[in-house]
């Protein structure tokens, strides 16, 4: 059986994938192309060496190339529809592709916990009203997070 060069490379890739699967313990799939046996060279993946490459670990967060400029505080107002003490702060983005956009955040009265939505505030206030919490914002925050709510 005569093989074209393209068929040989497909066969080689199929054989290499099958060999990898068998070494991992999964079932080996039969190759789609029926050909005569071709020698397959096992290639081991390169592992990063401690002496070569970069000196920083992979999980280290990258620092931005340019420092981010802080958003400008436009207003601080009490929130209508929420209990006394809740504050809404409006910020204007000063840099980046979305410069000029305004963001509003809601802050709780005692611990000044920051919320991004009115719905989150109302959920938190509902938890504060529960008898087991007794108005304690720290306990309410733990329950809020435990129930899968996000900020």
Question: Is the model's pLDDT at 125 over the cut of 80?
Answer: yes
Question: Is the model's pLDDT at 76 over the cut of 70?
Answer: yes
- Separation of alpha carbons 52 and 110, rounded Å: 52
Which pTM value belongs to this model?
0.55
CB 17 within 8 A of CB 27: no
Backbone angles phi, psi at 13, to 5 degrees: -65, -40
Give the model's confidence band at 17: pLDDT under 50 very low, under 70 low, under 90 confident, else very high: confident
Spell out the alpha helix ranges (H) of the chain. 5-24, 118-128, 137-146
């Amino acid at each position: 059986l005569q093989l074209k060069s393209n068929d040989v490379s497909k066969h080689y890739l199929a054989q290499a994938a099958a060999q990898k699967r068998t070494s991992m313990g999964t079932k080996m799939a039969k190759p789609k192309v029926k050909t005569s046996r071709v020698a397959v060279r096992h290639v081991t993946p390169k592992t990063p060496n401690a002496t070569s490459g970069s000196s920083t670990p992979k999980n280290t967060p990258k620092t931005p190339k340019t420092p981010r400029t802080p958003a400008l505080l436009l207003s601080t107002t009490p929130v209508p529809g929420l209990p006394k003490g809740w504050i809404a702060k409006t910020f204007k983005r000063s840099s980046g592709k979305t410069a000029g956009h305004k963001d509003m955040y809601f802050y709780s009265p005692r611990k000044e916990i920051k919320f991004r939505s009115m719905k989150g505030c109302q959920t938190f206030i509902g938890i504060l009203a529960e008898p087991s919490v007794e108005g304690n914002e720290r306990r309410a925050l733990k329950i809020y997070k435990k129930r899968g709510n996000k900020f």
